[in-house]
Amino acid sequence: MIDPEQDDNRKRRRQGVFSIIGLTIAVMLGTLAVFTGSVAAQDPAATSAQVVAPVAAPVLKIDTGDTAWVLTSTALVLAMTMPGLALFYGGLVRSKNVLSTIMQSVVILCLVSLLWILVGYSLAFGPDKGGLIGGLEWMGLSGVGSEPHPVYGPTIPHQVFMLFQLMFAAITPALITGAVAERMKFSALLLFAALWSLVIYTPVAHWIWGGGWLGKMGALDFAGGAVVHISSGVSALVCAIILGKRKGHGADYMAPHNLPFTLLGTGLLWFGWFGFNAGSALGANGLAGSTFLATHAAAATAALVWMGVEWAHRGKPTVLGLASGAVAGLATVTPASGYIGPFSAIVIGVFAGILCYFAVVWKGRMGYDDSLDVVGIHGVGGVFGILATGLLASKAINAAGADGLLFGNAGQLGIQAIMVVAVALFSVVGTWVILKVVDAAVGLRVSPEDESTGLDLSQHNERAYS
């Protein structure tokens, strides 16, 4: 079973990859050490005292309720990635690939966590450079302490805000793994996730949430319809096309091997999404409550609608349909959740259930193998959700937002559309470039034999079920 020559080449290539990764980490840590060393040499307290302004800077008071809620939400969003997404995706693949699927989500959580702390947060939320990206002033969390930031969570410690955002940064590339399930090389996935997180996620997060050009334009994305769902959904499409279809796609039996896992994952995703959306209110207050309500209403509605449409279309209601509908509803309502009331949320749920159902069913006609429907659910859901925000947002719900078309402000829809196009285009081009780089470095796909054996054994030497 093991070809000695091939094994040798693999070992050599592996050593090469590890050397590169090790070297990169060493360089990063070295730079960091030098940088934080030089920053620590200054006294931050002294610096701010030097900026003697006639008007005293507002004293930001930490609110314990707000902080407790955002800390909890942070943990909730972590649970969405691990084990939520891990099991959701894990149950949908064949048993020979379940461990590799879970591994991809978990390792991305770990990798992005580290990158975010080292440099990602600074790039996404650091002091704005030309509306496009944050600076490196906060590299290594320099200057990010317990003191609240006036804009990013004025009543919670800055570090808590950073942590909350970390979980968003982690789950977004993990979503993409669904499109490349059962055929992507592990080393390629690691490299891809690291690059995508730094090169695609941080700029997009900066544009919309970090003081960049889209945020300044008034684009509304309460909890990540564009930052998370459109970016990952569109990137997933590029990945699915470039990687190509799974071997035997269309002919072999590739049904989910463990739907109970998938439903367990769905439960954790739904549970965690309250942290994702309601946590984005950054406070334990009425807005968090209304966001929670909108989130739940949309999820429940979309689940029922998807189930109903499938029942009519295919003759039987399926549990996978119910679960998929719920996730579609949750994804679609994400950008709007903090700006809408429950009935708008129900409307969004109805459209999410219908649109995403047909997006998934018609995927077959498009000819690409997005194994776990990242495009149909997150991509389509994200786009519709962002546009729906332009229709249904209301200042009566959230005065810090804006009114949508249905509340008399036609301009918002245009701004939302610009956000959709900008994020989608950037994600498509950026992902394409990253894939080419990764392909040149380590190759994207496993060999056909490894694909047949299954990734658990071929990539990880492990078997899930004995």
**Comparison of 214 and 303: residue with beta carbon closer to another protein:** 303
Q: Judged by CB under 8 A, which stretch of 52-60, 196-204, 355-363, 441-449 contacts another protein?
A: 355-363
Kindly tell me which residue out of 221, 373, 403, 456 binds another protein, with binding defined by CB under 8 A.
373
Residue of 143, 218, 244, 256 interacting with another protein (CB under 8 A): 256
Q: Is the peptide bond before 335 cis (omega within 30 degrees of 0)?
A: no
Task: Pick one of 50, 54, 253, 399: the residue that binds another protein (CB under 8 A).
Answer: 253
| Per CB under 8 A, 354 contacts another protein | no
Asked if residue 466 binds another protein (CB under 8 A), the reply is no
254 contributes a contact to another protein by CB under 8 A: yes
Q: Report the distance separating Cα 18 and Cα 299, nearest Å.
A: 43
Q: DSSP state, 250?
A: T
295-315 burial, b if ≥16 CB within 10 A, otherwise e?
A: bbbbbbbbbbbbbbbbeeeee
- 3-state DSSP helix/strand/coil % of the chain, to nearest 5: 70, 0, 25
Widest distance between CA atoms in the chain? 77
Q: Which of 188, 360, 374, 391 binds another protein (CB under 8 A)?
A: 360
Question: Least distance to another protein from the beta carbon of 252, Å?
Answer: 9
Q: Does 56 bind another protein (CB under 8 A)?
A: no
CB of residue 315 to another protein, shortest distance in Å:
8
Chain-centroid distance of CA 136 in Å reads 22
Residues 312-331 vs another protein: string with x where CB under 8 A?
--x-x-x-xx--x-------
One character per residue 264-303, x = contact with another protein (rule: CB under 8 A)? ----------------------------------------
Could you give the CA distance from residue 168 to residue 186 in angstroms, rounded to a whole number? 22
- Number of helices (H), then strands (E), belonging to the chain: the values are 21, 2
Q: Provide, rounded to whole angstroms, the least separation between the CB of residue 189 and another protein.
A: 23
* Closest distance to another protein from the beta carbon of 186 (Å): 26
Q: Cβ closer to another protein: 46 or 253?
A: 253
- List alpha helices for 42-97, DSSP H: 44-50, 64-79, 86-92
Q: In the complex with another protein, which residue's Cβ is closer, 196 or 357?
A: 357
Contact between 364 and another protein (CB under 8 A)? yes
How many residues contact another protein, by CB under 8 A?
A: 16
260 near another protein (CB under 8 A): no
Q: Where does this chain touch another protein (CB under 8 A) — which range of 158-166, 232-240, 254-262, 344-352?
A: 254-262
Is 55 buried (19+), middle (13-18) or exposed (0-12) by CB count in 10 A? exposed
Residue 61 or 365 with smaller CB distance to another protein: 365
Of 260 and 414, CB closest to another protein = 260
Positive or negative, the Cα torsion across 100, 199, 363, 325?
Answer: positive
Cβ-count burial 78-106 (b if 16+ within 10 Å, e if not): bbbbbbbbbbbbbbbbbbbbbbbbbbbbb
Nearer to another protein (CB atom), residue 134 or residue 178: 178
CB of 253 to another protein, least distance (A): 6
Q: What contacts 261, CB < 8 A, 6 or more positions away?
A: 87, 88, 90, 91, 98
Contact 147, 60 (CB under 8 A): yes
Residue 255 in the binding site for another protein (CB under 8 A): yes
Nearer to another protein, 36 or 318 (CB): 318
Residue type, 153: G
| Coil vs helix vs strand at 377 | helix
Q: Which is nearer to another protein, 309 or 387 (CB)?
A: 309
Which positions lie near another protein, rule CB under 8 A?
253-256, 314, 316, 318, 320-321, 324, 360-364, 373
